[in-house]
Amino acid sequence: MKKTSLAYLLIFSLFLGSIVMVTAQEAEAPMWETIVLTPDNTKLKVLGENMRAHNLKYHNEGAYKATVYSISTGPDIGKIVWMMGPLKYAHLDSRPSEGGHDEDWRDNVMAYVKKMEHGEYWKGDVKLSNTDMLTDDPSLYPIQFIRYWEVNAEHSHNVKAMLELISKTVKAMDGNNAWGVYYNEFRQGSKIGRHIASVGFYKNWAEFDEAPTFKKTFFKVHGEESWDDFVRNMDQVLDNSWDEIWVYDKELSGD
């Protein structure tokens, strides 16, 4: 199966204003906390050793398990994504804080970080996503193709319809197309624009060389006459979009 097609039309979106994201609020919907860290490049060795030790001690299992990725493309290249979960909000009431956790994070991790930004909570859309093949072992799909979308407020009512078209197409493509839709839980506004993220999960970089089949499958599922309308609607729904590649860092994750 040609998975590169996911790299062309992976979608994230936001239901703005009074739009209610029903699927994103399902009881079984998984959620992750993420923060983006800008490391002090003169202290990378120390930061790596300290972050690994911190995650091994305080974030090595369950809802509090930490997974770390390096951003290898896009405007945030060189930064680190620290992710915790999957979890529910109730877990945050008992998150690690005592027993030296906060002091260790402050003195041994943040001391070697120049900047912390984009503290966010992302909730997955179980119905639209195609992630049944994923396990709790991130090393099986160590490369994530992230696409962020900034949604136009006037046309946000069409977001779900666009996502459904894409979801049906991805699920109809040959092979195991691991792909997920994640909603930013808190309002980002138009200037930040990280409204929704879709993620394509890849086993290796070579998969990006494979020829795309998304459009061909779209014709098969929805009909060729639907393509132009789909493209026009996407242009209206989205004010902006951009891509990132995240690569799993086993050492920093403490695995």
Q: What radius of gyration do the chain's Cα atoms show? A: 19
The 3-state DSSP class for residue 159 equals helix
Query: What pLDDT score was predicted for residue 254?
Result: 75
CA-nearest of 245, 244, 216 to 141 is 245
Query: What pLDDT score was predicted for residue 23?
Result: 39
Q: Where are the beta strands (DSSP E) in 5-53?
A: 31-39
Mean pLDDT by 10 residues, the chain (255 residues): 45 35 56 98 96 96 96 96 97 91 97 97 97 95 96 93 97 95 90 91 97 95 97 95 96 87
The rounded distance, in Å, linking the Cα atoms of 54 and 99 is: 12
Query: What pLDDT score was predicted for residue 25?
Result: 44
Residue 230: both structure tokens together: 């789909």
Query: What pLDDT score was predicted for residue 188?
Result: 84
Query: What pLDDT score was predicted for residue 14?
Result: 34
Query: What pLDDT score was predicted for residue 99?
Result: 86
Q: How far is CA 94 from CA 63, 91, 186, 253, in A?
A: 10, 6, 21, 21
Q: Map out the domains of the chain with their CATH numbers.
A: 4-253 (3.30.70.100)
pTM of the predicted model, to two decimals?
Answer: 0.88
Query: What pLDDT score was predicted for residue 210?
Result: 95
Query: What pLDDT score was predicted for residue 141?
Result: 98
Query: What pLDDT score was predicted for residue 190?
Result: 74
The rounded distance, in Å, linking the Cα atoms of 202 and 189 is: 30
CA-nearest of 198, 221, 202 to 210 is 202
